[in-house]
Amino acid sequence: MDKATWVLLLCFYSFLIGNLRAQEIEQSERAERISGAAGDVLEDNPVGRLKVYVYGIPSKYNTKRVKKDPRCLTHMFAAEVFMHRFLLKSPVRTKNPEEADWFFVPVYTTCDLTPNGLPLPFKSPRMMRSAIQLVALKWPYWNRTEGADHFFVTPHDFGACFHYQEEKAIERGILPLLQRATLVQTFGQRNHVCLKEGSITIPPYAPPQKIWAHIIPPETPRSIFVYFRGLFYDVGNDPEGGYYARGARASVWENFKDNPLFDISTEHPATYYEDMQRAVFCLCPLGWAPWSPRLVEAVVFGCIPVIIADDIVLPFADAIPWEEIGVFVAEEDVPKLDTILTSIPTEVILRKQRLLANPTMKQAMLFPQPANPGDAFHQILNGLARKLPHDRSVYLKAGQKVLNWTAGPVGDLKPW
């Protein structure tokens, strides 16, 4: 009698567990786990792995700018503002700078907007310089390492080169004072002056509330093959074409405007987010800079991103295996885009959709407030944690100076 009840209980227990496991397996089959070059690190918890000290510099560098122009909270460069706010409330923050592994200087360099809403980078180098001078004078930690254990968020077009035009940005190069610091930026292109070794590439800011408000039922069938909305020719700045996007967007238009598989146009539809959820491929070509919020939107809406930007470095490239998730097309292969996309085997396409369906993938691209585990804030902290412990050479001996405080264009040296 006793034995029978035990056997029955065991059977019941194993059936229950088996059922749960089956559900788990089904869930995981719908979405595949993502592991990049650094391993399966998307779901790592940075709390306990690093400590960040946030400098308390005058609000004219940060909060006053936002108060003056609240558009800084919604444009695609808003990551600098939200990173600051996140760090102030995060458990990784420490009020004791002696035990900190990383130091954060909260300066909103892209919060100087034109009436149109575009940021002017002309004063940003001076603003950054002024902030660093303040930090170096008031605290000893900058001079200890000349900034090698400090990090900054520079989300502008070409990062810390502080210019919107690529030639000018390349000429300026990264601000000399930031030569040793870690830069958290959206711009990433291999073999480019404005991408420093050891930078952390992040996605541009896309407002999460707006995105989540436009989610449609997942059973809506995907019936658009390729989708794109945006400019092909920047008529105001480059009327002849060939300069904007290195001619790649113009090439897409000229080759595929008559192709029924390509739903591409310059319109601004009200159903832009809904349409992306009904498309199989979403084009993410470069513009004036190689990165764009389209990548974030495509990933969140489950549309396979087709990245047309040579040598681009995508966000969190060591944590997310972008080659397995997106399709990379060289700019010179744009005329063959339809051949390339239709010759991808169906199994590969389904696998990419499964990877995109992974909720950690979608979370890692967004900056929600308040922060959720696994979101972009946490990925940045994970990236910083992976760079620890600091190399011994980071700490300078007393009196050793590396940075040249007078380098750079003369205009940058003026006080801000």
Partner 1 sequence: MFHSNHGTRRSAAAVRSSTSGGLEGGGVGSPAASSASEGSSFRPSASTFWLLLHGLCCLISLFLGFRFSRLIFVLLFSNTIYTYTTTTTTTITSTRTETLTVSFPLTHTPPIETAVKPNNSAIELSDKMLNQGSSHSQVVVGRHGIRIRPWPHPDPTEVMRAHQIIVRVQQEQRKWYGVKSPRPLIVITPTYARTFQALHLTGLIHCLRNVPYPVTWIVVEAGGVTNETASLLARSRVQFLHIPFHEKMPVEWAERHLTENRMRLLGLRVIRERNMDGIVLFADDSNVHSLDLFDEIQKVQWMGSVSVGILAHSGGPDRTLLTEDEKLNPPIPVQGPACNSSGHLIGWHTFNSIPYSEKSATFVGESATVLPGKMEWSGFVFNARMIWKEAEEGRPEWVKDLDKIGENGEEIESPLALVNDASFVEPLGDCGKKVMLWWMRVEARADSKFPPGWIIDPPLEIVVPSKRTPWQESDDLAGGKLEQDDRRFTRPKSRSSSKRKNTLPGQDN
- Per CB under 8 A, the list member of 113, 231, 349, 371 interacting with partner 1 is 349
List, in sequence order, the alpha helices (H) in 329-413. Answer: 337-342, 346-356, 359-364, 376-386
| CA-closest candidate to residue 72, choices 58, 55, 85 | 85
- CA 89/CA 93 separation, integer angstroms: 7
Q: Among 58, 342, 413, 414, which residue sits at the site for partner 1 (rule: CB under 8 A)? A: 342
167 counts as binding partner 1 under rule CB under 8 A = yes
Residue environment code for 67-97, b if the CB has 16+ CB neighbours within 10 A, otherwise e: eeeeebeebbbbbbbbbbbbbeebebebeee
Binding span for partner 1 by CB under 8 A among 39-47, 60-68, 93-101, 246-254 = 246-254
Decide: is 254 part of the binding site for partner 1 (CB under 8 A): yes
C-beta closer to partner 1: residue 66 or 76: 76
Compute CA distances 352 → 189, 255, 389, whole Å.
Answer: 23, 26, 35
Question: In the chain, what's the furthest Cα-to-Cα distance?
Answer: 93
- Give the DSSP letter of residue 283: E
Closest by CA position to 230, among listed 215, 252, 213, 211: 252
Q: Number of residues in contact with partner 1, rule: CB under 8 A?
A: 76
Does residue 69 bind partner 1 (CB under 8 A)?
Answer: no
238 near partner 1, rule: CB under 8 A: yes
Please, which residue, 241 or 368, has the CB nearer to partner 1?
A: 241
Residue among 346, 392, 399, 415 that touches partner 1 (CB under 8 A): 346
Residues 242, 235: contact at Cβ < 8 Å?
A: no
Tell me the window of 45-53, 68-76, 129-137, 401-409 that interacts with partner 1 (CB under 8 A). 401-409
Compute, in degrees rounded to 10, the torsion defined by CA atoms 249, 366, 344, 307: 20
Asked whether position 310 contacts partner 1 by CB under 8 A, the answer is: yes
The answer to the question of residue 68 lying near partner 1 (CB under 8 A) is no
- Sole binder of partner 1 in the list 124, 145, 353, 363 (CB under 8 A): 353
Stretch that binds partner 1, among 17-25, 53-61, 83-91, 111-119 (CB under 8 A): 111-119
For partner 1, the binding residue among 48, 70, 115, 221 (CB under 8 A) is 221
Question: Is residue 215 near partner 1 by the rule CB under 8 A?
Answer: no
